[in-house]
Every structure is written in structure tokens, then in C-alpha cells.
Amino acid sequence: MNKVLIKMFLMATALTGFLHSAAAEQVSAKEDAVPENDIRFSSARMPKYAVKGEKIKYYVCFVNNGTEPVTSVTAEWLKDGESIAEETVDGLDVAAQDEGSVTLGTFSLDQEGDYDITLRISKVNGGNDAVPTDNVSPTVRTYCRSGFEKRKTLLEFFSTEKCTQCPSAHYEIDGILDGKDGVVEIGHHSGYKTDRYTIPESTALEWFYKSGKKYAPAIMVDRNNLGGVYSSIFSDNVPVVSATAANAQVLYAESQSVPALVSVRMAAGVDNRKLSLNVSGNQLLPIDTPDSVRLYVLLTEDSISTENQAGTNGTFYHRFSVRKSLTPVWGELIDVAGFSRDFSFYIPKTWNIDNVRAVAFVANYNATDKNDCRVLNTEELRVRDISSPTGILESNFCDDSSWQIVSASGVTLDSGNGEAELARSIDRQASGILVVRTKAHTVKIFR
């Protein structure tokens, strides 16, 4: 090898060494650039409603972007950008690049009002987070009151006689929810073919399914899509989900964690199978879409026996089947600040009047978005409860038969004990709306 080639070889070797050394320094620099303590805020469940003085639970999820395991985090609550409280959670073990979560439960609001609350992770492992800009939640408007009116949850079941899996789903969900306070169940004979109890209003509700995918058994709870929290349940990204006991239990609990945004009151009378019904109510809390709220009123019949139900070998009883809609399928537009509607309907003799219920609910309606039709509150009234004083006491499972009759204006008209005395007292009252109060419940009746 001549001197020129040797010189070129030595220069190339030196250059290669330099490049390797520079690359190693760059890798080292990159490694050094990754901080030890750095988390990224991924999501949070922040309640919108808080009772004054009661602790509020917040659930925070984060990603560990640092090189060290996360063993503790400190969260701050911000109001109008100012820190008003903090909480430290220890005992964590979240490895680098893993996702972790914490539950915060020491924060409360001591004054009624509407608050814009933000969460911020201020410390990681006792020190400052290396990148604080990705540690802040969206701001949530929180309504704090001394108390809230409890809502009733609307559970809509899609089931038909031709569905072989429906009976077992009914039994499972019945075992979970039957007897629970605050749930109103109605059954639509649609979703999988039709049967002799199908009505057009139930078929129209198949709009809530994912396009091109209908099935039974299926349920909707408050016509709400909670896919942001339960992505596995709402895999179709619509309010309709599979009718399992687990799904029903989770979604019922979620619904009950939200108070009634609207009151729904019902008063009724029955004269020779003619049902007269008044539904009224008013707004209780701020509503995002007050101009698109509608009233829906339905009649259901429970315990309809059939020998034709697929998936059974004997008699099957349909639960709370929707028999008549007293409002259009997409409800009647109302002024949610205060509304009152009157309805009347002759109950056919083919229906068991003792098993008939009137169901009224208030919900938003968006004709172009099936995920924007959430139910705000629901109420129901059994016809047998308004057709006899005895039914009032029995239906409310009253341990103490004491009662009180109050006029619509709030004046006490009579009080006493026992069903027979109550019946005589109601007969003595003037015509109009009466409020009958027992130990456990309040029922409105027409006289």
C-alpha cells in the first residue's frame, strides 16, 4: 500500500471513530434529557354535582413519562386559577411508561354556588414535575348545593318473543335491579324482529342502535352514551348496549350518581277505564340544552303471559311492555322552566288494568345526534294506586298505615289511620287534585 492510500485509510479510521464518539455522546445526551420525575395527565372523572360540606371523589389517570417509578403524587384543586386545596397520595408503584391512577377524596366545598374547578398534579415523588404543562385537567363547572332531588333512572329493554336469549337476560337483570329504588323499567318489543306487542314508537327507537347492527336483548340506560368512561361497554359508540346484569348494574349506579335536573310530577284519575293524567315539572339545575328538552309519556303493562316466547319451555311473562305512547315518538317540546300537560286514554279491556303504569320522562332530543338525547329525570304511576285508596297504601309498602290528605295548594284536609278510614275521607273531599302522604311516600290522585 503506497503512502497516499495509507494516509487516506488513517484519515477514514479517525473520522469513523469521531462519528462513533459523537453518536455515543448524542445517545447519552438523549438519555440524560429524559427526566426522572415526569407524568402526563391522561384523564379524570370530576363530578359536576357536590353536596355542601361532603367530600367529593375524583379519579385521575396519568402516564409515567419519567425514568423513575412513581411512588407518590400531589394533586391541587384550582378555582379561577388559584390553588384552594391539595392532597398527596402515597404507596404507588407505577413503572416508567406505564399508566397509573389515583383516587382523591379529601376535597369538599363549604359554600353553595357554581364553581369552575381544575385539577393539577403539582408534585411527583415529593418533587416538582419536570414538564408541568401536561399535568392539568379540563375545567369542570361544579354545582354545589345543600341537597339535590334524587332522580329516577330509565331502563329501556329491547326484547321480542322471537329472541331466544332474552328470557335469561330478563332474569339476570331482574335479579340485580328488581326492588331497587329509583329505577323505572320499560320494554320495547323491537331490536330483533317484531311480535304482536310491537308498536311503531318502539320500532322507531331502533335509531339508537349502531347503523346496520340491531340485536336483542339490549338495553339503554337514560339514553346515555358513557363511552368516554366505559369504552368496553359502549363499543358501538351509541346508547344501546348488550343487556347483561353487569352492564345494567354499572350504568344504574352511574345514573344514580347524578341528581334530578328536572322535576317530573304525575297526577291521575280513572273513571270506567278512562285514564286522565296530568304531568308537570320544572327545571331544578342548569341544563346545557334547555331549548331542546322534550316530554315523553307512555303506558306500559307488566306481566303479560305468553306461551310463544323463544328460549323457554312454558309460560313467560313480558315485563313492563310499552303498549301506548301518549306523546309522539320524539316527545313534545316543553318549556323546561315550568310545564304542565294533560292526557287522557281509554284503557282497553284486553289489558290488565292493575298492571298498567304511566311513565313520564324528560329528555333532550337532537335529531342528528343519537348520543345527545340524555334523559334528565323519570317518574311512574301505577293505575291501581290511583283507582283505590287501598292500592295507594299497598303499593308503597307502608309499614305504618297513618296518612294525611293535602290539597294541591298545600292545605291539610284530613289525617288519620287505616285504609278504610282513608277511603271514606277521600270520598268526602271535593273534586280536584289531592296529595295522599303515607310514612314512606307521597301519591297524587284526582278526585
150-192 confidence digits (pLDDT tens): 999 999 999 999 999 999 999 999 988 877 889 999 999 999 9
pLDDT at residue 413 greater than cutoff 60? yes
Mention every residue, 6+ apart, whose C-beta is less than 8 A from residue 109. Answer: 50, 52, 53, 56, 115, 142, 144
CA distance 360 to 162: 28
* pLDDT at residue 98, as a whole number: 95
E strands present in 259-315: 265-271, 274-281, 293-301, 304-306
Q: Please, where in the chain does CATH 2.60.40.10 lie?
A: 39-145, 154-384
Of 40, 58, 144, nearest to 96 by C-alpha is: 40
Rounded to 5°, the CA angle 364-365-371 comes to: 90
| Mean pLDDT to the nearest integer, 392-405 | 60
Q: Please, where in the chain does CATH 3.30.1490 lie?
A: 389-446
CATH architecture of 39-145: Sandwich (2.60)
CA distance 132 to 335: 45
Summarize pLDDT for 53-93 with one digit per residue, the tens.
999 999 999 999 999 999 999 999 999 889 999 999 999 99
DSSP string, 196-249: TT--HHHHHGGGGSPTT---SSEEEETT---TTT-TTTTTTSSS-EE--HHHHH
pTM to 2 decimal places? 0.78
CATH topology of domain 389-446: Dna Ligase; domain 1 (3.30.1490)
Which has more pLDDT, 429 or 206?
A: 206
CATH architecture of 154-384: Sandwich (2.60)
**Residue written as cell 335509531?**
207
pLDDT at residue 347 greater than cutoff 50? yes
| Mean pLDDT to the nearest integer, 254-272 | 93
Please, are residues 44 and 119 in contact by the beta-carbon 8 Å criterion?
yes
Which has more pLDDT, 19 or 228?
A: 228
Average pLDDT score, the chain: 88
Residue 319: strand, helix, or coil: coil
Maximum Cα–Cα distance across the chain: 129
Show the cell assigned to 346: 281509554
